[in-house]
Structure 1
Amino acid sequence: MEQLDALAAELGERLKAEGQTVAVAESSSGGLISAALLGVAGASKYYLGGAVVYTGKARMVLMDLPREAVAGMRSSTEPYALLLARTARERFGATWGLSETGAAGPTGNAYGDAAGHTCLAISGPVEMAVTLETGESDRAANMTAFAAAALELLKRAVG
């Protein structure tokens, strides 16, 4: 968690200095992205909210994304991650939407993605989506790696 804390502290300072805000939609990181961002004193100046979107029902209830909105799209992909990031940004009125969707392990997901696979996206003044493959089956290690990669993506976008 120390790595996440250090990244979040740096991001928090940058976001506050720029007057920017973030909203998070995460899945297999299990809330670690939000926890890291909220662990920084003064987080209320930049963190607007977030959700752990772990199931299809959570996607519908928390993100208000009905089946029709994701027709032809599956989770754990860059297009889906980008949709989550855009939706989080729009729903919260944030400068940045940050998302993560993947398979923490110890096994893969129903779509055939191996444990350690995740897709991350950022939506805001710039948009990016990336795929990360850790090659590991350790659930806790993957969750931490996914959260760190998401925070690094936000750091790169914020500049």
Structure 2
Amino acid sequence: MTAITTHSSLEPLAVLAARVGATLRERRQTVAVAESSAGGLVSAALLAIPGASAFFLGGAVVYSRRAGKALLGLVPEDMNGMRAETEPYARFIAARIRDSHRATWGICESGAAGPSGSPYGDAPGHVCVAVAGSGSGPGGGMVTASRTVETGDTDRPANMEVFARQLLQLFDETLRAPEAGAGAGINPV
């Protein structure tokens, strides 16, 4: 788990999005985005890049169970042994949105922006971010990465920004890892 303040040294959202977009465009890869507490900030940052249609296939704000059913076709059986705002859930949703859009990569964040905690007992400022995609190196295969972040802050807009930056930071790290997944805390499956 990573503890981070909302005034962290993370790069600005636009800088992260531009770097991710350039990498995707250069590799001719695509991404689909599932957000909850970031409320669409990740999709907006990626879509603000000129030429985003070359790599951005779509996004969804999956803020409730009803949205999960409507936007991702989730059924109760999908959630067996899992709950929102956990790394397994974020990895599952990242893979689900990747598959539903036939994208190279799927990315997801699931958290509690505040000012109060979540119905699951997570404190405000808690988020799990995840990436799921295809390895581009000689081994190929499925690549997943995830992390949990706790800001310790109840400031909803500030947490939303940190959540979006954390997701794009993890995605950028994953894209830059050898073979897009071997090492650096990235789990090739």
TM-score range, shorter chain: over 0.9
Give percent identity, aligned residues only: 52
The residue number in structure 2 matching 1:128 is 145
Where 2:12 maps in the other structure, the secondary structure is helix
1:87 and 1:113 map into 2 onto residues whose CA distance is 23
Q: How does 1:78-157 map to 2 (within 5 A)?
A: 78-125=87-134, 126-157=143-174
Where 1:137 maps in the other structure, the secondary structure is coil
- Structure having the larger proportion of residues in helix: 1
The residue number in structure 2 matching 1:63 is 72
Question: Unaligned regions of 5+ residues in structure 1, if any?
Answer: none
Letter in 2 for 1:151: L
The Cα offsets for residues 3-28 of structure 1, whole Å up to 9 and x where unpaired, read as 11111111111110011110001100
Letter in 1 for 2:31: V
The residue number in structure 2 matching 1:20 is 29
1:71 and 1:10 map into 2 onto residues whose CA distance is 36
1:15 and 1:72 map into 2 onto residues whose CA distance is 33
Moved over 6 A (4+): none
CA drift at 1:72: 2.3
Q: With structure 1 as the length reference, what TM-score do the two structures score?
A: 0.97
1:79 and 1:67 map into 2 onto residues whose CA distance is 15
Q: How many residues align?
A: 158
The Cα offsets for residues 130-150 of structure 1, whole Å up to 9 and x where unpaired, read as 101011110000000000000
Match of 1:7 among 2, 12, 16: 16
User: Which structure has the greater CA radius of gyration?
Assistant: 2
The Cα offsets for residues 73-97 of structure 1, whole Å up to 9 and x where unpaired, read as 1100001101100001100011100
Letter in 1 for 2:147: V
Q: CA RMSD in A?
A: 0.9
1:45 and 1:158 map into 2 onto residues whose CA distance is 17
The Cα offsets for residues 111-155 of structure 1, whole Å up to 9 and x where unpaired, read as 110000000110012201110101111000000000000000110
2:12 and 2:47 map into 1 onto residues whose CA distance is 14
The residue number in structure 2 matching 1:73 is 82
2:111 and 2:76 map into 1 onto residues whose CA distance is 19
